[in-house]
Amino acid sequence: MGNYQSFFKENLDNNVLKNEIHNVKIENILLNKTINKLEEEIKLLQNNSTITSGSMEALESKLHVSVEKLVDKMLANDNVNSSIIPDYLEKKIYTNVFTIFIGILKEIMEDTNINILNQKITFKMIPNNLENTL
């Protein structure tokens, strides 16, 4: 009877190990896809280190679309949406405020330098999914 129990225990252990190997393979595939995507983004950033006027217009239009999506989500929330102010006016106000805020934040971030132990730390704001805008 001892051989019979040890046989099933070994089969059970083998099945557990096979499942773990399968899970690790899937995780490895996902990590490889992530690495490839990051490598492509690095290449895009290296190749597009200078921004032309056309790409700047694309960045600004993408910023405008992102701000409009945010404002639309805000207006959909009854706690934020004011019933006193007409929605078209409220949307225009929020859009202008967020556009100005992002512009000021970008200027502050890009002009800020921190010097620590003879090391200069600077900040740079770039949009997500840069490949879709350039």
Tens-place pLDDT, residues 48-81: 555 555 666 666 777 778 888 888 998 888 888 8
What is the reported pLDDT for 113?
80
Answer yes or no: are the C-beta atoms of 68 and 97 closer than 8 Å. no
Question: Among residues of the chain, what percentage have pLDDT more than 90?
Answer: 4
Find where tokens 């225990």 sit.
Answer: 9
Q: Of 87, 53, 58, 55, which Cα lies nearest the Cα of 71?
A: 87
Answer yes or no: are the C-beta atoms of 104 and 13 closer than 8 Å. no
Task: Quote the tokens at residue 105.
Answer: 């934040």
Q: Is the pLDDT of residue 1 over 60?
A: no
DSSP-assigned letters across all residues of 111-133 = H-EEEETTEEEE-----SSGGGT
Q: What is the largest CA-CA distance in the chain?
A: 82
Tens-place pLDDT, residues 95-110: 999 888 888 887 787 7
- 116 - beta bridge partners? 119
* CA–CA distance, 64 with 57 (Å, rounded to integer): 10
